Chains A and B, each alone.
Chain A
Amino acid sequence: MVSTWWRVGRASAANAFADLVVIYTPASWVFGWLVRVLAQVAFYALIGTLLESPAQQRFLLVGGAVTVMVTEVLLVCASTAWERQAGTLPLLVVAPVSMVPVFLGRSVQWIPSALATSSIALFALGPVFGVGWTVGTALLAWAVLVLTCLATYLFGFAVSMLVLGFIELRNLVGAVVTAITTAISGAVVPVDFWPAGVRFVAHLLPATYGLDALHRLSREEITFTILSNAGLLVLVGVGWLGIGASLLAALVGLGRRRGTLEFP
């Protein structure tokens, strides 16, 4: 099963990267997307200037860098919907293989792009706004960033399974989930700022654990908490993968019963 999933996932990823090449040229990625992303991170970091607080400036820069990563990874909602728009869902249903690796691979193009932009934001723009890194903290921070990105992708996979049923809302859902993540996951204010109910929701989001670890590393605090955050990232990511796979099975079952697979 593993080899089949890998083969199918790779074929689906080839589709994903073909999409990326159509969307961006190297020049438009650098002068269009990257400039926009760095401006977004600077926008948040500058709030620290407004507050006349260098500590807040550093906090908001780290938050901004993770937020742009989440923004890009959650484009999975849009690219998953493109697959249904292309009318391939009925074909995928009759194929003798699970659809999970198909949809897991279908949007992986956002992962390297999101990692590149958020890494540049953290490690190149960071020092401009007072976030300094040693080799050790930078390496650990990058590892946390990779884990956060992968776990957020699995979270996005689950959200996109909901979007598959309402593809006209693909951009809306992505934008709203990104904004909620920005608000409550510790990107702009510590999670403790929020009431208990909101804190509970925040702890379901992978970004919350990644941000906690990155804030600590930006303050050169290398503690056991970072390791536990990494473990929680894996756990939460796998949880969302399970939820996503269940939602996909439910959607397909419903579509087959009602005959609406081709017509969402």
Chain B
Amino acid sequence: MRLLLTGAAYQLRLLRRSPGDLIALATTPLLTVVFLAVVEHNGRPDLAVNAVLAPALIALWGMSLLIAGDMIDAERATGTFEVLVATPARLWPLFTGRVLVVTVVSLLGLVESWLVATVVFGVPLRVAHPGLFAVTLLATVLAMSGHAGVMTSLFVLSRSARIFQNSLSFPFYVLGGVLVPVALLPAFLRPVSTVVFLSWSADLLRDSLRPAAPDSPVLRVGMVLGLGAAGAALSWWLLSVVLRRARRTGSIALGG
């Protein structure tokens, strides 16, 4: 736990000095304007919920993957990765703490999109099921942290994977149903969407804002947490592979 908190505090200090890492939060209000404009222009106030949640989920996903993907490389660039590996402390909780902070900070996107909806468009959104909303948000943050940790190691393991870092955005926004629910996607995409935790989170968050009682909320929160746990387990395993390989090949400082 101490390592987790140390990583979290360090990442918080880093974020305060890296405006470039906050791009997702800078574009969130504008994306909210884009989606709410479409909804208002088409006279569909019932879809305001989708328009407000989508930019927040995009900020969560985009910011977490961007920063987490660069973590080990950034340590290498500053020459601190060797020292980190040499310390007796375990790295996984340290990196997990850092990823967790990024994910939590990216939730500011939700505040931003909510404010744009209220102040700019005069769309007052009420949370019909606040308990479920809070639990789903918490589960989403945990699941996102697990998945972002996968990217931390994956981009180090495979240099070619980094080229695809940019590509992990919109394909997942479609598959994750962040704006358009998975039920409206072409049938061949739906099975893939089931294993993307975002699709469960997005649906449940939307349902928790609407007055109707959501179907099977416990099962759906369980799916978000289950997929998040699978991501976290994969991230732990991948980090151990990275460290083993780096020690074996003597490439801790060099990368690759």
Which B residues are CB-close (under 8 A) to A179?
27, 30-31, 34
Whole-angstrom CA separation of A163 from B130 in the bound complex: 43
Chain B CB within 8 A of A260 CB: no
Whole-angstrom CA separation of A28 from B164 in the bound complex: 7
Q: Chain A: interface secondary structure?
A: helix
What per-residue 1/0 map shows which CB atoms of A4-30 lie under 8 Å from chain B?
Answer: 000000000000000000011100100
Contact of B26 among A36, A53, A56, A176 (CB under 8 A): A176
Q: Are B37 and A188 in contact (CB under 8 A)?
A: yes
Which A residues are CB-close (under 8 A) to B50?
50
Which A residues are CB-close (under 8 A) to B173?
39, 43
Chain B CB within 8 A of A35 CB: yes
Chain A interface residue number, banded: 35 or more
**How many A-B residue contacts, CB cutoff 8 Å?**
97
Q: Are B167 and A43 in contact (CB under 8 A)?
A: no
Whole-angstrom CA separation of A83 from B35 in the bound complex: 36
Chain B interface residue number, banded: 20 to 34
Q: Are B166 and A32 in contact (CB under 8 A)?
A: yes
Q: Which residue in chain A gives the minimum CB-CB distance to B47?
A: A50
- Separation in Å of the A16 CB from the closest CB of chain B? 18
Q: Chain B: interface secondary structure?
A: helix
Q: Are B20 and A36 in contact (CB under 8 A)?
A: no
Q: Are B38 and A33 in contact (CB under 8 A)?
A: no
Q: Are A35 and B171 in contact (CB under 8 A)?
A: yes
For residues 150 through 171 of chain B, which have their beta carbon under 8 Å from a beta carbon of chain A? 160, 163-164, 166-167, 169-171
Q: Which residue in chain B gives the minimum CB-CB distance to A179?
A: B30
Name the residue among A32, A49, A175, A188 with the largest chain B CB count within 10 angstroms: A32
- Separation in Å of the A98 CB from the closest CB of chain B? 30
Whole-angstrom CA separation of A81 from B149 in the bound complex: 30
What per-residue 1/0 map shows which CB atoms of A170-185 lie under 8 Å from chain B?
Answer: 0110011001101100
Whole-angstrom CA separation of A179 from B62 in the bound complex: 15
Chain A CB within 8 A of B185 CB: yes
Q: Are B33 and A33 in contact (CB under 8 A)?
A: no
- A–B complex contacts, Cβ < 8 Å, 16 sampled: A23-B163, A33-B167, A36-B169, A39-B173, A42-B174, A43-B180, A47-B179, A50-B50, A168-B19, A171-B20, A172-B23, A175-B26, A176-B30, A182-B34, A183-B30, A193-B41
Residue ranges of A at the interface with B (Cβ–Cβ < 8 Å): 23-25, 28, 31-33, 35-37, 39-40, 42-43, 46-47, 49-51, 53, 56, 60, 168-169, 171-172, 175-176, 179-180, 182-183, 188-190, 193
Known: A43-B174, A46-B174. 6 other contacts (CB 8 A): A43-B179, A50-B47, A50-B50, A172-B26, A183-B30, A183-B34
Residue ranges of B at the interface with A (Cβ–Cβ < 8 Å): 19-20, 22-23, 26-27, 30-31, 33-35, 37-38, 41-42, 44, 47, 50, 160, 163-164, 166-167, 169-171, 173-174, 179-181, 184-185
Nearest first, the 7 closest Cβ-Cβ pairs linking A and B are A179-B30, A39-B170, A36-B167, A40-B170, A39-B171, A28-B163, A189-B41
